[in-house]
A and B are shown apart, each in its own frame.
Chain A
Amino acid sequence: AQSVTQLDSHVSVSEGTPVLLRCNYSSSYSPSLFWYVQHPNKGLQLLLKYTSAATLVKGINGFEAEFKKSETSFHLTKPSAHMSDAAEYFCVVSAMDTGRRALTFGSGTRLQVQP
């Protein structure tokens, strides 16, 4: 079985300050990990993915995430928040589970960016 835990349901930062969205996972198999972003009334958009290559993954809009197997974490960071980053962010784990690939979504973290 696999699971993903997003440690914060809401994060609020000021524009220009760093962003940290935390994600921990558990998986019996070598997982692939993803971050998706959802702006209000929109579908989800892929930010970045980890699939057993480099542990530091760079995504779109200046976001990056580091896969840390020892900590079972895949935290999302950005050096400087922009107002347009305000959205909901989902951490997703994908692994072979009972012979079939299974996708598990975290519960989401809502990012607020204050001017």
Chain B
Amino acid sequence: DAGVIQSPRHEVTEMGQEVTLRCKPISGHNSLFWYRQTMMRGLELLIYFNNNVPIDDSGMPEDRFSAKMPNASFSTLKIQPSEPRDSAVYFCASSYQVETYEQYFGPGTRLTVT
């Protein structure tokens, strides 16, 4: 298996632009998680899905952030409009069951908003 796939690996954009991050979970996994990692705040859970349904989005910072999972093999995290404080590494992770929490992480997308 290729593991969790994220694209792009690096994104540089200007403030105010829309940014879309993509994730392909491991085949057969039915839970998907989006995280953000910064030096200041460490690793934060933004949202997670179980069977394509958002279960907990309490970590989403504000309305500029949205996430979708249209099918079991694809998810997006969108920021519109982006701001410099959104600069971070965004990780996607998947697991077979949300209860086990044996999560497999993708390599991350490093986002820089100038």
Contact = CB atoms under 8 A, between A and B. Distances in A.
B4 interface: yes
Contacts of B107: 41-43
Contacts of A42: 107-108
Interface residues of B, number: 20
Contact of A44 (B45, B55, B100, B105): B105
A45 B100 CA distance: 15
Residues of A in contact with B, size category? 20 to 34
Interface in A69-115: 90, 92, 94, 100-103, 105-108
A103 B42 contact: no
A34 interface: yes
Interface of B: 4, 42-45, 55-56, 91, 93, 98-108
Interface of A: 32, 34, 36, 41-46, 49, 51, 90, 92, 94, 100-103, 105-108
Nearest to B106: A43
Contacts of B101: 32, 34, 49, 92, 94, 101, 103
B42 A108 contact: yes
